[in-house]
Structure 1
Amino acid sequence: MKQAELKEAIRLRWNNRAESFDSSPGHGIHSQSEKAAWISLFTGIMGPSGTSVLDVGSGTGVLSLLLAEMGHKVTGVDLAEEMVQKARDKFKSNNLPAEFVIGDAENLPFRKQTFDIVINRHVVWSLTDPEKAFREWKRVLKKPGGRLIIIDGNWGRDVPTVRRIWRFFSRILILLTEFNNPWVGNQKLDRLLPMKQVKRPETDVEILKKLGFAVRVEPLNIPRWSGFLGYLKHGHHAGMDFLIVASL
């Protein structure tokens, strides 16, 4: 598949997910304890209110909304126009200012040195050219002092066997309890995505250091579920998510 075709497949994938995106654990925020955990995390790493933030792959604006509520100046960019519209509607209903644009994470429609922080969650794994994207994110960061925040998980080929087995049976459970097929349109596309084929966050760190970032990696433990059934369906994620803070 050519890169243009792959990007189009990715755009369609997330357009198709826009309607149900917020209901998925790890995407929406589903409890006060989860929201409090995100606020605690961002209070420690975002700096003072009023910071200019670019949310790359902003989706329906879940994290953008939280950051705006904390007083930051937020801009969002996403390849999927349905996601962008959901984010705009969300901010309008909450009477909060933000700009959301349709754009490619690997070719951003912004001038250089525009933002204090570039942030993304569960985006890097879906990039067609992660090194190109990292260079773009560096380009739009203010220097010195700009920071890149990556929130993602190690769910490529390096996943331990027990986690793979748990994930397989959890998908069956999701199919039976939610009447939603978690395999649809995923496996063929995932095999074409570079960051699904490597060990993370080690690969991220290698690329970032090559680009001149100082890098810090931490485990990320934000609750994704509630109750025993939720644990069976989503507990295989526990301990696999990570936070990268890369500074210029």
Structure 2
Amino acid sequence: MTDRTAAITAYWDAASAAFDDEPDHGMRAAPTRAAWARRLRSWMPPGPADVLDIGCGTGSMSLLVAGSGHRVTGVDLAPRMIERALAKFGAAGLEGRFLVGDAMAPPTGDGRFDVVLARHLVWTLPDPEAALREWVARLRPGGRLVLVEGRWREAGQSGVPYVAGAASLPWNGGIGAEDLAAAVRPLVSALRVEPLSGDPDLWGGEVDDERYALIAGL
């Protein structure tokens, strides 16, 4: 593990205890949970699918996906995030596989998935375009890439600065929909962008920055 990877792991491990305090992270409020569940149902294929949730955090998105009958594999760099995700699944009586690993190269071997899902992740990556290629390569023919992204005023948790050197990350602070679509379009056969800023239930209140979902298919 490099010093940088160790620092990033330590950052997210430390953030795990309060991570779910953010309305859209913990989804503790019924309207927020229901709003995300509706969106996820619309982005997932019909019938049980194999879904890879990269940067799964404490597993809130994974839990909603599994609750709709899909088979979930979650990956996160931070062991404490994975511990919390496992606890959520155990409490809900749902099955899911969770792995500690790097989003740039998820440790799923030769496994292929019907959906690769990532939320609020690409800004943290040292080479996001390489990660996108890797994620698309994990999809089966006809699979879907679902990215929930945007540009935020605070990229860190609760205003705490992100790890040293974050300013040099290519997409530090997020990426706009047009730019992300331009990066993804050569890798897929179809793509659409769904604005999310106008749905306050998703975020626990009104927001005025750019938030969206990009849904792409092979």
Task: Assess same fold via TM > 0.5.
Answer: yes
Q: CA deviation at 1:132?
A: 1.3
Q: CA deviation at 1:244?
A: 0.2
Contact residue 13 and residue 185 of structure 1 kept, 8 A = no
Deviates more, 1:29-38 or 1:213-222: 213-222
Q: CA deviation at 1:222?
A: 4.9
1:95 aligned to 2:93? yes
User: CA, structure 1 residues 74+222, in 2 after alignment: closer, same or farther (shift >3 Å)?
Assistant: farther
Deviates more, 1:187-196 or 1:89-98: 187-196
| One-letter identity of the residue aligned with 2:212 | F
Counterpart position of 1:247: 217
Q: Which runs of 5+ in 1 are unaligned?
A: 156-163, 168-180, 227-234
Aligned pair partner of 2:134 in 133, 136, 139:
136
Counterpart position of 1:118: 116
| One-letter identity of the residue aligned with 1:57 | G
Contact residue 188 and residue 216 of structure 2 kept, 8 A = no
1:193 aligned to 2:169? yes
Counterpart position of 1:225: 204
Q: CA deviation at 1:92?
A: 1.2
Higher strand share: 2
Q: CA deviation at 1:213?
A: 4.4
Deviations 1:114-158 (A, max 9, x none): 100000111111111101111111111001x11000001123xxx
Aligned pair partner of 2:8 in 10, 30, 37:
10
User: CA, structure 1 residues 205+69, in 2 after alignment: closer, same or farther (shift >3 Å)?
Assistant: same
User: CA, structure 1 residues 197+22, in 2 after alignment: closer, same or farther (shift >3 Å)?
Assistant: closer
User: CA, structure 1 residues 247+239, in 2 after alignment: closer, same or farther (shift >3 Å)?
Assistant: same
Counterpart position of 2:79: 81
Aligned pair partner of 1:53 in 36, 51, 54:
51
Give the superposed CA RMSD. 2.4
User: CA, structure 1 residues 213+112, in 2 after alignment: closer, same or farther (shift >3 Å)?
Assistant: farther
1:214 aligned to 2:193? no
Contact residue 23 and residue 29 of structure 2 kept, 8 A = no
| One-letter identity of the residue aligned with 1:43 | R
Q: CA deviation at 1:112?
A: 4.3
User: CA, structure 1 residues 151+10, in 2 after alignment: closer, same or farther (shift >3 Å)?
Assistant: same
1:202 aligned to 2:178? yes
User: CA, structure 1 residues 197+76, in 2 after alignment: closer, same or farther (shift >3 Å)?
Assistant: closer
Q: Which runs of 5+ in 2 are unaligned?
A: none
Residue 45 of structure 2: SS of its match in structure 1? Answer: coil
Aligned pair partner of 1:153 in 125, 136, 150:
150
Residue 196 of structure 1: SS of its match in structure 2? Answer: coil
Q: How far apart, CA to CA, are the structure 2 residues paired with 1:57 and 1:244?
A: 16
Identity over aligned pairs, percent: 37
Counterpart position of 1:42: 40
Contact residue 52 and residue 113 of structure 2 kept, 8 A = yes
Residue 12 of structure 1: SS of its match in structure 2? Answer: helix
User: CA, structure 1 residues 104+198, in 2 after alignment: closer, same or farther (shift >3 Å)?
Assistant: closer
Q: CA deviation at 1:15?
A: 0.6
Residue 9 of structure 1: SS of its match in structure 2? Answer: helix
Deviates more, 1:78-87 or 1:30-39: 30-39
| One-letter identity of the residue aligned with 2:62 | S
Q: How far apart, CA to CA, are the structure 2 residues paired with 1:209 and 1:15?
A: 33
Q: CA deviation at 1:211?
A: 2.3
Deviates more, 1:195-204 or 1:42-51: 195-204
